[in-house]
Amino acid sequence: MITKRMQQPDSSFDSLVPLSSWSSPFRLKDENDVKVVKAVLEELAKEAPAKGLGGFSERFGRAGLKNVFNGWITAHSYTPVRPDSLETLMGEDYLGKLQQATGIGDSGDLQERLARVLPQVIHYLTPIGEIPSNRLLAHNIHSLLVQLP
């Protein structure tokens, strides 16, 4: 399936990517990857009205990974972070929330999946190569969540 990123600043995610198959645009391996994507989106939805992607951007900046995060937004770069760095980067509380939401008991497995899908999620939430307004981000997150299996 070929997808094309639209260059319209106010485009909604609904018109951005055909989601006939959820795993297609996200290169997900299995149902647990879908659970991780859903949990990340739900956590982002809680932050979107106040912080947008600013919270993630700050975390990556503090860890010296601002260029990696920016690459997910501005380029077609899906450079993952090291799974073993996610606890420091995202915080134990955040990973605990994801672990509870996904039901993935093995923290190493969760971190490996998160390292793989997080770049894809951030990239698809930033369709024009920049961080959207908090309002548009919230809309894009909601549009994805309602399409999840």
Q: What is the CATH number of the domain that holds 128?
A: 1.10.10.690
Q: Is residue 115 assigned to a domain? A: yes
Q: How far apart are CA 114 and CA 53, in angstroms?
A: 16
Question: In this predicted structure, what is the pLDDT of residue 54?
Answer: 86
Question: In this predicted structure, what is the pLDDT of residue 96?
Answer: 94
Q: Is residue 78 assigned to a domain? A: yes
Q: CA–CA distance from 10 to each of 73, 78, 140 (Å)? A: 16, 24, 11
Both tokens of 65, joined, read 């990974």
Domain total for the chain? 1
Instruction: Report residues of the chain scoring pLDDT below 50.
Output: 1-23
Q: Count CB-CB contacts under 10 A for residue 2.
A: 4
* Contact indicator for 5, 127 with CB cutoff of 8 Å: yes
Q: Is residue 101 assigned to a domain? A: yes
